[in-house]
Chain A
Amino acid sequence: MPYTAKIKVTLRQSILDVQGKAVEHALKNLGYQTVGSARIGKYIEVTINEEDPLQAERIGNEICQKLLSNPVMENYSLELEKVN
């Protein structure tokens, strides 16, 4: 049974998120005065054709570290879901 890896990649807090800042200003301009900061990230879905959940997790982490995120400026989170 394959897995779907649901991956979120976000800029580290120490990195200025200029897109997030622009969205935050737009929301405030729309009158949402209680809106705080906005941060923009990426959402990626990858199918992993593995039976073993541990193996699927290992591959999921590996692709996040190797290609899908840049650890110098980004964090990632990984969630595995069984495909029926």
Chain B
Amino acid sequence: MADVTVGVVVFPGSNCDHDTEHAVASFSGVRPVMLWHNDHDLQGVKAIILPGGFSYGDYLRAGSIARFSPIMQEVIEFARKGFPVLGICNGFQVLLESKLLDGALSRNRDKKFLCTQTTIKAENCSTIFTSLYSKSQVLRIPIAHGEGNYFAPPEVIESLEEHDQIVFRYTDVEGRVTEASNPNGSVKNIAGIINRQGNVLGLMPHPERASEQLLGSDDGRPLLESLFRHIAGV
């Protein structure tokens, strides 16, 4: 793979930034670049990852204050130009608050913070983030969030379905979309969505926490690899 750089944004309160950095650095030819929330310089990176955590303490609403940080003004511009942006967990919340993706995330249905293994299904494998998965492949990827209950008005859900923008859904181990396999109450078991242009993906599960066998699963690795191959032009 040709040498490429990937930005990992660091907000005050991010706590998966170093896990993400580690996962990115584990790919040969890919170098992570940490981007501080107060900066405007994207340092020429080819893709950006917004990591998990509690940016700005999750004050007001998860992601709502991060959305107005200096670096996010550049990230929004970067995304609008068509460059890839991946939001994981709190990063997904920031993308929704930034309106780069549609909908919102509210408290988990059962009021609890959930830190657990989930199974999700890759439903759209023709995106730049999922090209290395096979259609309806079931993945073991953990979640860790208190506000992951995805909501959007019915007309938005309809439009997401129509344009194949629901990329991941929570399922049972057989890949069936069931109520019991929905950890947080998300509408239609939605775990991750992509924008219409196909360059901005947000998901609640943590692919970086499932990026090597030592962690119990490496099912998240192809997501990162799909993205890195895309930006390296492989």
User: Which of A18, A19, A22, A67 contacts B64 (CB under 8 A)?
Assistant: A67
Question: For residue B111, which residues in chain A have a CB less than 8 angstroms away from its CB?
Answer: 18-19, 21-22
CA distance A73 to B61 in the complex (A): 11
A1 at the interface (CB under 8 A from B): no
B27 at the interface (CB under 8 A from A): no
B224 at the interface (CB under 8 A from A): no
CA distance A22 to B185 in the complex (A): 16
Contact A16 B60 (CB under 8 A): no
CA distance A16 to B109 in the complex (A): 8
Question: For residue A16, which residues in chain B have a CB less than 8 angstroms away from its CB?
Answer: 106-107, 109, 149, 185
Contact B107 A72 (CB under 8 A): no
The minimal Cβ–Cβ distance linking A16 to chain B, given in whole angstroms, is: 7
B104 at the interface (CB under 8 A from A): yes
The minimal Cβ–Cβ distance linking A40 to chain B, given in whole angstroms, is: 10
The minimal Cβ–Cβ distance linking A31 to chain B, given in whole angstroms, is: 22
Bin chain A's interface residue count. Answer: 10 to 19
Contact A15 B151 (CB under 8 A): yes
CA distance A42 to B152 in the complex (A): 21
Contact A70 B97 (CB under 8 A): yes
The minimal Cβ–Cβ distance linking A32 to chain B, given in whole angstroms, is: 20
Q: Can you spell out 18 A-B residue pairs with CB atoms less than 8 angstroms apart?
A: A16-B106, A16-B107, A16-B109, A16-B185, A18-B108, A18-B109, A18-B110, A19-B107, A19-B111, A42-B60, A67-B60, A67-B65, A67-B68, A70-B61, A72-B104, A72-B152, A73-B106, A73-B151
Residue numbers of A with Cβ under 8 A of B are: 11, 15-16, 18-19, 21-22, 42, 67-68, 70, 72-73
Residue numbers of B with Cβ under 8 A of A are: 60-61, 64-65, 68, 96-97, 103-104, 106-111, 149, 151-153, 185
- Further pairs besides A16-B106, A70-B104, A72-B103: 13, Cβ < 8 Å: A15-B106, A16-B107, A16-B109, A18-B107, A18-B108, A18-B109, A21-B111, A22-B111, A67-B64, A67-B68, A68-B60, A72-B96, A73-B104
